[in-house]
Structure 1
Amino acid sequence: MVAASPLDPDAVLWSAPVEERGDRPLLVLLHGYGSNEADLFGLTPHLPEEFVAAAVRAPLAPRFPMPGYSWFTIDGVESRDHDEVLASAEAVWDWVDEVRGDAASVGLLGFSQGGVIALQMLRMRPQGAAFAVNLAGYAFPEPHAGDSELAEVRPPVFWGRGARDEVIPPRFVDHTAQWLPGHVDLSGRVYPDLAHSVSAEELGDVRVFLEKQLAAPKS
């Protein structure tokens, strides 16, 4: 596996100052390809305020001329760098280990590439996160050593995607539709008029999902 580039702690956007975090649950926001930490941080007013949201910046730069940051390299329509997926997921876990403090739980919310990382983090530590939200992302097709344990733990996962999304290759969508039900407690929705984006309707569904996680009994 390629060496993980650490996340930049100075780039993280927090919804609450350190003195107000305490044991509140931590929600890690993982942006998409060519974007940055400010993107998903804009969703925080629409999320339950019980969470402390932390929007992190991906550690890699996408290929020129794409701006922003990326979690892994995309080479053409179909090719993805699996080693970078693993390295970036490990880098986020390393950062979480450093900052979570007394947080009651850790949840993951990612868009597109960030959704891939959220699911990969679950596969690496099936009991490390309470849940994941995957928006317009997918499960990477390469098997992982943690997949069998994940299928036993079955953490809650919300998968939302647009029926008009032409960015994610169909084979990744098909694989995810087959793979997720056997490994997680899956809920979600396909939005007929949505492309590669997030809609107000989808945000409402995400909020309901997150509220259910807040109300779920702690094991």
Structure 2
Amino acid sequence: MHPLTAVSAGPLDDLAGHRLLVLLHGLGADERDLLPLAPELALDDAVVSLRAPLPWGPGFAWAEVRDDPTRRTGSMRPAAEAVLAWLDGATAALGEPAEVRLLGFSQGGALALTLLRLAPERFASAVVLAGFVPEDDEDDAALAAVRPPVLWGRGDADPVIPAAAIDRTSGWLPAHSALTERVYPGLAHGISIEEIADVRAFLA
């Protein structure tokens, strides 16, 4: 597993007292994939995009991808722990952010939910686009008590995320978050202009 690589949307020399938005790309992409979203969201946040630690295809992955049709994604916990360690280092070097928010696409969305499960007190909210809750066994009592705001956006024509993962996430999110769910007619495995507007409103 390679160390995480981070790239910011602007100068990043002081986090103390500022909001931080952490972008988590999807399978086979890299740390620059979601950066074009930053100006579209019109935020005052410092924005950092992380590169996943596992090489996969033309890019990187947050967890292994298996041939087993009953469990296609390996454990997200190692990557989540790596993100928490990166956040510890950034905080030590640049100061404690006022709050940290997460935005993940696909496998990055699964990672965002894993981070909420492992450390719900560290994150103010999460945006999960075309993502799902992993099958990892976790003690979610602390998360259910906090119930952070989560925006879950997905297309109803997504051919990538299995129906079983959607059903699992549909049952899990309402019990563990203050959920805002958006389903976009005709949208495949991607991010639409309408969805970006909803993300902007949610984060604002």
Shift, 1:49, TM fit: 2.5
Q: How many Å separate the matches in 1 of 2:38 and 2:22?
A: 11
Q: How many Å separate the matches in 1 of 2:87 and 2:133?
A: 21
Corresponding letter in the other structure for 1:31: H
Q: Where do 1:14-33 residues align within 5 Å?
A: 14-19=8-13, 21-33=15-27
Q: CA RMSD in A?
A: 1.5
Q: Do the aligned partners of 2:156 and 2:186 also contact (CA within 8 Å) in 1?
A: yes
Q: How many Å separate the matches in 1 of 2:59 and 2:199?
A: 25
Corresponding letter in the other structure for 2:21: L
The answer to whether residue 168 in structure 2 is matched with residue 175 in structure 1 is: yes
Q: Which residue of 116, 122, 143 corresponds with 2:116?
A: 122
TM superposition outliers: structure 1 runs of 4+ over 6 Å: none
> Which structure carries more strand by proportion?
2
Aligned to 1:75: 66
Q: Which residue of 27, 44, 48 corresponds with 1:50?
A: 44
Q: How many Å separate the matches in 1 of 2:108 and 2:147?
A: 20
In structure 2, the gaps of 5 or more residues are: none
Corresponding letter in the other structure for 1:98: G
Q: How many Å separate the matches in 1 of 2:194 and 2:201?
A: 11
Aligned to 2:3: 6
Q: How many Å separate the matches in 2 of 1:205 and 1:122?
A: 21
Q: How many Å separate the matches in 2 of 1:155 and 1:49?
A: 20
Q: Do the aligned partners of 1:78 and 1:169 also contact (CA within 8 Å) in 2?
A: no
Aligned length: 200
- TM-score, normalising length: structure 2: 0.93
Q: Do the aligned partners of 1:40 and 1:55 also contact (CA within 8 Å) in 2?
A: yes
Shift, 1:23, TM fit: 2.1
- 12-21 or 122-131: bigger deviation: 12-21
Q: Where do 1:102-181 residues align within 5 Å?
A: 102-145=96-139, 147-181=140-174
Secondary structure, aligned partner of 1:37: coil
| Percent of aligned positions that are identical | 46
In structure 1, the gaps of 5 or more residues are: 212-219
Corresponding letter in the other structure for 2:22: V
Q: How many Å separate the matches in 1 of 2:53 and 2:172?
A: 27
- TM-score, normalising length: structure 1: 0.87
